[in-house]
Amino acid sequence: MANYPFKEVETKWQKYWADNDAYKVSESNKPKYYMLEMFPYPSGKIHMGHVRNYSIGDVVARFKKMQGFNVLHPMGWDAFGLPAENAAIKHGIHPDIWTKKNIEEMKQQLNTLGLSYDWEREVSTCSEDYYKWTQWLFIEFYKKGLAYKKESRVNWCTSCETVLANEQVIGGLCERCDSKVIKKMLNQWFFKITDYAEELLKDIEDLDGWPEKVKIMQSNWIGKSTGAEIDFPIDNSDKVLKVFTTRPDTIFGATYMVLAPEHPYVEEMVKGTEYEERVNEIIAKLQHMSDIERTSTDMEKEGAFIGQYCINPISGKKIPIYIANYVLIDYGTGAIMAVPGHDQRDLEFARKYNIEVIPVIKPEAEEEFEIKNEAFAKDGIMINSGKFNGLKNDAAYGEICKLLEEKQVGKKTTSYRLRDWLLSRQRYWGTPIPIIYCDDCGSVPVDEKDLPVTLPTDIKFTGTGLSPLTTSESFLHAKCPKCGKEGRRETDTMDTFVDSSWYFLRYTDSKNSNKPFDKANADYWMKVDQYIGGVEHAILHLLYARFFTKVINDLGLTTVNEPFENLLTQGMLLKDGAKMSKSKGNVVSPEEIIEKYGADTARLFVLFAAPPERDLEWSDQGVEGCFRFLNRVWRIVIEAKENNLYNKKASVESKNHKDLKYNIHYTIKRVTEDIEERFNFNTAISAIMELVNELYKYKENDEIDGELLREGINTVIVLLAPFAPHIVEELWSYSLEGGSVHQVSWPKYQKQAIVKDEAEVVIQVNGKLKDKIIIPTGISKEELEAIALSSDKIKGFIEGKKIIKVITVPNKLVNIVVK
């Protein structure tokens, strides 16, 4: 038989679904389920990673719908960003045109996959009716003091004259032109995400539906440390040096101080001294180094004495002040007390510059204790620490903090690694920041009635560090919303992570033209019940989305405080053991596979080849196998109808019927549990494959029960519906079952059908195991006892003895007590 005509089938049903608004949803009083996959950047073509991500989501959406939920399953476009701007510079196409064309193409490709999206809720972050509300939210943040502008150090390419993200600086050089990158102070917009650091951290605990590894990454990114801030007076000066330490218990071991080279005190202290030149040398060297490089443990420690001393506020000891490459300006206070006995980085530095090492904690068991090449970072007993000697160091920690507070030279404190979110970009293709500068009124947010601040089209791509928006005269000039005087617009646009931090809320009410979304709608649909995307978003996107959700909640716009109930991070797609990527040239295009085998096969393969979180190895044979399986399903349905198999009647109750009934219902149970509890789509699919094999065997029997065969075949069609949505529609309609199979209720297994009708019974004599027998279930106690007593093995043990009593547990055990 020829292969099934997947092309006609798939086109036919895609059209049917579109014509019938099959996936349109609205708010109702049914229980809801919000299924969301991370929206794509409209690069122009979908790749296999998209196919996998969206197929996983589609299975869940279709399954939940069949279970009776009101399912929201939307799709949209993360449509601002650099590639569109680069295409514009390179090919002279306007970013807007480039982006819209890509969206059209990708949407068409997504539709060939048969994904159950409600396209009426489509959002595109670059459209005015979306970014109007991104701007509106920015202003709400601004009013709450959560958006502010400050001077900050940025990576600056000296040739492109533009700001670079940390990832764009490779070994101190610009990724694009290999020119020197320096640090430069620029006035930039920030979101005050640090105000939410504690809440973002604490609430991770309640994210039960998130993978552990993502929760750990988020915690580490927030990076909470508890410790103390301590003031060290600078000798011969009225200044104090404030340090942050997690180890106030080691204060007697502080033998030098270190300032970050960029610390404002440094310049003041060395200006005009013999130390100035060396210090400048070190600072120059550090400009080409990322924070990650600077703090890595392999990094060669380097620094210099700067000619001044501090006084240890507890011991009174006078200690030298250094600068060093391993101390960062924007963590803690940008200065440390260095304790080489107990901190490895300090020890390496101290050895290099011959600075004294004083151990102040020793292991409990050792008498003689000396620091060699390794700092002692464990707990122990205090030494060389005046009146604290002999205490355990954790007790000393508390005592020393108390003393610091009494003397008013320090206090317990908490420090976070999380920095405020720098959102300014000197770019064109992004959401304009809705602020007007006025000589009299300062920064003034644009009035709500004047939103959106639209992107002008009369711009030039300057190729300098200035935002292209500075070249638009029509854009630049605006009246101050407060006093009406001529003002000047902000020309930076927003980081695209801002756009994607609230899109899941917009989907709940995507057409609203009066507000970002209606509270009732958002409250009905949120949280997202299942969110699926790549693990590369495990930190920033998810953290920013959580931050936005919390602020939006505090603004009273929703009741939810977290956006995503369950999170699944899907694995990578590999081919020949390597990640599928353009640069490796090992890409399999979805178009090619769909052309050759159809969308149902493509979907089935990516779902069958591995569980969703795991990496998936591409296999041509695997794809072939899935295609053959769908053909097998196709043929049995056709054959059953053509040969009138459903009308057959069996005259006897045979074991074959019973076994098939068992298999049908056991398969329903397995598939349901595999989808619902574990997302083990691979084992769910293989269970369906096994049932198909059983059906093929069954129909070859002399006697078949047509009704039962029909039940089996229909079960296959229904269970397969979430995975391969087109072929099942065709087969359902071919079998004249009526309506769309996607409207059918998900089947429930019958409990009796999967009760095994045999049981293994243990026979004991005086509590000791002597025999095991298989019996039909449901026989009476007396019958079971009689069978047990007549067992040949048992007879040997009880012969000539007196039976005192027989204890019987039906289907399980018979214990014969003898004397």
Q: Give the binding site for Zn ion (CB under 5 A).
A: 438, 440-441, 480, 482-483, 485
Only segment of 162-170, 240-248, 263-271, 274-282 that touches ligand ANZ (CB under 6 A)? 240-248
Q: Does 263 bind ligand ANZ (CB under 6 A)?
A: no
343 binds, among ligand ANZ, Zn ion, none (CB under 5 to 8 A by kind): ligand ANZ
Tokens of 24: 């349109």
Q: How far is CA 86 from CA 67, 80, 91, 457, 461, in A?
A: 46, 12, 8, 16, 10
Among 246, 512, 686, 733, binds ligand ANZ (CB under 6 A): 246
Measured from the CB atom, the residue of 247 and 603 that comes closer to ligand ANZ is 247
Q: Does 162 bind ligand ANZ (CB under 6 A)?
A: no
Only segment of 18-26, 70-78, 243-251, 309-317 that touches ligand ANZ (CB under 6 A)? 243-251
Q: Does 262 bind ligand ANZ (CB under 6 A)?
A: no
Measured from the CB atom, the residue of 43 and 443 that comes closer to Zn ion is 443
d(CA 811, CA 813) in angstroms, rounded, equals 7
Question: Residue 283 Cβ, how far from ligand ANZ at the closest point, in Å?
Answer: 15
Question: Residue 535 Cβ, how far from Zn ion at the closest point, in Å?
Answer: 47
Question: Residue 340 Cβ, how far from ligand ANZ at the closest point, in Å?
Answer: 9
Contact 685, 633 (CB under 8 A): no
Residue 271 neighbours by CB distance under 10 Å? 10
Measured from the CB atom, the residue of 320 and 334 that comes closer to ligand ANZ is 334
Residue type, 625: G
Among 247, 550, 669, 726, binds ligand ANZ (CB under 6 A): 247
Contacts with ligand ANZ in 293-332 (CB under 6 A)? 326-328, 331-332
Task: Tell me, residue by residue from 400 to 419, as one string, x for binding to ligand ANZ by CB under 6 A and - for no binding.
Answer: ---------------x----
Cβ burial 237-263 (10 Å sphere, 16+ → b, else e): eebebebbbebbbbbbbbbbbbbbbbb
Measured in degrees and rounded to the nearest 5, phi and psi for residue 689 equal -60, -40
Whether residue 582 is annotated as binding a ligand: the answer is: yes
440 binds, among ligand ANZ, Zn ion, none (CB under 5 to 8 A by kind): Zn ion
Measured from the CB atom, the residue of 87 and 254 that comes closer to ligand ANZ is 254
Question: Residue 486 Cβ, how far from Zn ion at the closest point, in Å?
Answer: 9
Closest CA relative to residue 527, chosen from 562, 567, 568:
562
Question: Residue 28 Cβ, how far from ligand ANZ at the closest point, in Å?
Answer: 50
438 binds, among Zn ion, ligand ANZ, none (CB under 5 to 8 A by kind): Zn ion
Contacts with ligand ANZ in 333-372 (CB under 6 A)? 334, 336-337, 339, 342-343
Contact 601, 685 (CB under 8 A): no
d(CA 806, CA 789) in angstroms, rounded, equals 10
Q: How far is CA 375 from CA 144, 359, 363, 648, in A?
A: 46, 9, 12, 83
Q: Does 423 bind ligand ANZ (CB under 6 A)?
A: no
Distance between terminal CA atoms of the chain? 72
Contact 286, 294 (CB under 8 A): yes
Measured from the CB atom, the residue of 331 and 421 that comes closer to ligand ANZ is 331
In this structure, the strands spanning 224-233 and 173-174 are unpaired
Residue type, 122: E
Measured from the CB atom, the residue of 433 and 604 that comes closer to Zn ion is 433
441 binds, among ligand ANZ, Zn ion, none (CB under 5 to 8 A by kind): Zn ion
Question: According to the 3-state scheme, what is the secondary structure of 509-560?
Answer: HCCCCCCCCCHHHHHHHCCEEEEEEEHHHCCHHHHHHHHHHHHHHHCCCCCC
Half-sphere exposure of 722 (CA within 13 A, CB side): 31
Residue found by looking up tokens 């096969």 in the block: 601
Q: Does 250 bind ligand ANZ (CB under 6 A)?
A: yes
Q: How many residues bind ligand ANZ (CB under 6 A)?
A: 19
769 binds, among Zn ion, ligand ANZ, none (CB under 5 to 8 A by kind): none
Q: Does 549 bind ligand ANZ (CB under 6 A)?
A: no
Measured from the CB atom, the residue of 281 and 440 that comes closer to Zn ion is 440
Question: Residue 482 Cβ, how far from Zn ion at the closest point, in Å?
Answer: 5
DSSP assignment of 668-701: HHHHHHIIIII--HHHHHHHHHHHHHHHHHHTTS
Question: Residue 213 Cβ, how far from ligand ANZ at the closest point, in Å?
Answer: 20
Contact 401, 412 (CB under 8 A): yes
Measured from the CB atom, the residue of 225 and 237 that comes closer to ligand ANZ is 225
480 binds, among Zn ion, ligand ANZ, none (CB under 5 to 8 A by kind): Zn ion
Measured from the CB atom, the residue of 24 and 485 that comes closer to Zn ion is 485
Question: Residue 205 Cβ, how far from ligand ANZ at the closest point, in Å?
Answer: 20
Contacts with ligand ANZ in 565-604 (CB under 6 A)? none
DSSP code of residue 748: -
**How long, in residues, is the chain?**
819
Measured from the CB atom, the residue of 72 and 357 that comes closer to ligand ANZ is 357
Q: Does 684 bind ligand ANZ (CB under 6 A)?
A: no
Residue 268 neighbours by CB distance under 10 Å? 10
d(CA 148, CA 443) in angstroms, rounded, equals 10
Residue found by looking up tokens 């949209």 in the block: 76
d(CA 299, CA 292) in angstroms, rounded, equals 10
Measured from the CB atom, the residue of 230 and 451 that comes closer to ligand ANZ is 230
H helix runs in 212-343, sequence order: 212-222, 264-270, 276-286, 291-295
Question: Residue 252 Cβ, how far from ligand ANZ at the closest point, in Å?
Answer: 11
- CA gyration radius for the chain? 35
Contacts with ligand ANZ in 180-239 (CB under 6 A)? 225
Contacts with ligand ANZ in 634-653 (CB under 6 A)? none
Measured from the CB atom, the residue of 484 and 778 that comes closer to Zn ion is 484
742 binds, among ligand ANZ, Zn ion, none (CB under 5 to 8 A by kind): none
Contacting positions for ligand ANZ (CB under 6 A): 225, 244-247, 250, 260, 326-328, 331-332, 334, 336-337, 339, 342-343, 415
List binding-site positions.
582
Residues making up the binding site for ATP: 582
